[in-house]
Amino acid sequence: MNLPNTPVEAPWKPVPREVTQAQLDRRAAIAARYRASDPATLADMLEAAALEHGPRPLLHCADRCFSYAEVNRLANQVAHVARAQGVRRGDVVALAMENRAQFFLAWFGLSKLGATVAFLNTNISGRALAHELQTTSARVALVGEECLPAFDAEEVRGCIPLWRWADADKPAPALHGLTAMDFGAATVQADEANPDASWRAGLTAGDPCVYIFTSGTTGLPKAAVISHARWLMSGAVMRETMSVVADDCFYTFLPLYHGAASLSAGSTAMAAGASLSVRRKFSKREFWADVRRHRITVCQYIGEICRYLLSEPERRDDRQHSLRTMVGAGLTAEVWTRFVERFGPMQIYEGWGSTEANTNTINVDNRPGSCGRVPFWDKTNLRLVRYDVEAEAHVRNADGFLVPCQPGEVGEAIGLLHDYPDIIAGRFEGYTAADETEKKILRNVFRRGDAAWASGDLLRCDEDGYCFFVDRMGDTFRWKSENVSTMEVADVLGELPGVESVTVYGVKVPGTEGRAGMAAVVMQEGHAFDPRDFHAHASAQLPRYAVPLFVRVPPEPDMTSTFKLRKVDLQRDGYDPARVADPLFVRDEAAQCYVPLSDETVARALAS
């Protein structure tokens, strides 16, 4: 799908391929240093950082600041208590806790024993939580008091021993017979000395450090394996990429159980001796106050964060802040341009990848809208291959191999797998379940016997090597014999003044081929949905087949905890008034407007 106004251009000077490649080469050189057989682990890094940066701040949490030395001492107490409870190298301990200092203390302390920490999604319970515990083979769960109610569900109650860490801000309600050791209280009197290194003897950088659950679009989440080397490598590479120094402060409001916060921001800050300002949850009204209070210089974003910040009323001090760098994914060219025009010039590192990916791209050129650049394809294991959205299958040539995309073509991003046993860079570390790992591997890709990791993401690359995210493979749909990118349509519709968020998806319509477009439109406070204005904007900016047939107007966006718009439930509801309490509209071409949905108006829309 090619929209008439994409990509949106902003004042930007072209960068020679060689200049971009030089920056990417520096990243690659650092990544190449990390070996699976190295003895260095997260615990070793923390202890070395505590010696080097001792009194410097590491964590800003609410009104409390924790230095590197203090975090190390408190993590040591966790290690001593956990060992007394029987935790040993190779054990898996599940961690369920919201964004607070104790998350880091628990994680780092358990790592000092050589245990693998499984980060649990704090927004789930019941069957999904039972699945996370089962698929990681956790022997015990360390649970923040704020998360204890989830473990009181029938599916998980009593299935695993619990250690509780109190939370003065969110004390747990009375629970039905749930028992848990008061782990936090036990740490207060524990030894503060570094544990004996023999406690994790035999642990190498290639061993699992954490399990992080991916937010899959279908089925139950998968636990991605992240090695110590991968965690260390990520921080070192991003430190070089963004020129991070000890005086920098990262803003961390994304959930710590998610890779963007713990894997990227956490490791990068520690690699430079910098600090993290940790907030429980994102607040658009408190964002800039936090930035100024802690002199935050780097912010990790995802999803709709920047659009939400732009929805706040303009202030005279919008440009009076310390923020110089944004890094993340999901920032459109239009929002990018408006963001820097309002809040001032800054370096934005828009990227593409995933927690478990063995390849990625990152925009080091500050090119609005692009998620990265491939100046020379022989320098990367990333490839884009043709994918038939209607058939839901890859396009193969006469020899049965995948077909590389040409510039401008949309295809699936894949990462070629190379057999370098000790090299971490480019390795697909997989999931805890071997069958799930195998499902993500494509075989006989470009020649007999080769393999690649399949991302499930559709990207497009231009003549200059700049890549643009198009959609998830399961989200793009066919209507009127055309491919419709939900991401591109949502970006265009989101430009209408007063719109806070837009979720676009395809819905089945009886008697028709493919799926019709539907948009869930959330308006900003003080703005009402205008069906005529919305129709005019959509019709002027989109090809006719891409203009949504249906519109739903919920009071607030249905978001995941990482600010990705949730489509599965919306698709399930469709445009059925029996399932949807929100106002529903259907496009009326004759009236040049969206009109209230009824059997009659739907029939008229389908006939036009």
Taking only the tens place, the pLDDT of each residue in 495-549 is 899 998 899 999 988 888 788 999 999 998 899 999 999 999 999 888 888 999 9
Structure letter (DSSP) for residue 562: T
For position 289, what pLDDT does the model report?
95
The 10 Å Cβ neighbour count of residue 234 is 22
When pLDDT is cut at 50, 70 and 90, the band that residue 52 belongs to is: very high
The CATH number for 476-607, chosen from 3.30.460.80, 3.30.300.30, 3.30.1450.10, 3.40.50.1100, is: 3.30.300.30
- Give percent of the chain above pLDDT 90: 74
Q: Which of 321, 309, 212, 215 is nearest to 267 (CA)?
A: 212
For position 323, what pLDDT does the model report?
98
Q: Which of 268, 120, 138, 116 is nearest to 206 (CA)?
A: 116
Residues of the chain with CATH 3.30.300.30: 476-607
Residue 9 has pLDDT above 50, yes or no: no
For position 453, what pLDDT does the model report?
97
User: Average pLDDT over the chain, rounded to whole?
Assistant: 91
Helix axes 228-242, 42-53, angle to 10 degrees: 50
Residue 4 has pLDDT above 50, yes or no: no
Span 126-164, pLDDT tens digits: 888 999 999 999 999 999 999 999 998 888 988 999 999
Mapped onto helix, strand or coil, the DSSP state of residue 326 is strand
No. of helices (H) and no. of strands (E), the chain: 17, 29
Q: What is the mean pLDDT of residues 439-447?
A: 96
The CATH number for 67-203, chosen from 3.40.50.1220, 2.170.120.12, 3.90.245.10, 3.40.50.980, is: 3.40.50.980
Most trustworthy range by pLDDT among 61-75, 465-479, 562-576: 61-75
Rounded to whole angstroms, how far apart are CA atoms 478 and 33? Answer: 45
Find out whether 101 and 280 touch, Cβ atoms under 8 Å: no
- Give percent of the chain above pLDDT 70: 95
Residue 224 has pLDDT above 60, yes or no: yes
Query: 441-443 and 181-182: which strand pairing?
Result: unpaired
Q: Which of 99, 103, 328, 356 is nearest to 208 (CA)?
A: 356
Residue 205 has pLDDT above 90, yes or no: yes
Residues of the chain with CATH 2.30.38.10: 377-471
Q: How many CA atoms lie less than 13 Å away from 543 in the CB half-sphere?
A: 15
For position 477, what pLDDT does the model report?
84
When pLDDT is cut at 50, 70 and 90, the band that residue 562 belongs to is: low
Write the CATH number of the domain with boundaries 377-471: 2.30.38.10
Structural element, H or E, at residue 505: strand 499-507
The residue whose two tokens read 């636990």 is 223
For position 594, what pLDDT does the model report?
97
For position 485, what pLDDT does the model report?
83
When pLDDT is cut at 50, 70 and 90, the band that residue 552 belongs to is: very high
Quick check: bond before 7 cis, omega within 30?
yes
For position 5, what pLDDT does the model report?
35
Residues of the chain with CATH 3.40.50.980: 67-203
Residue 2 has pLDDT above 70, yes or no: no
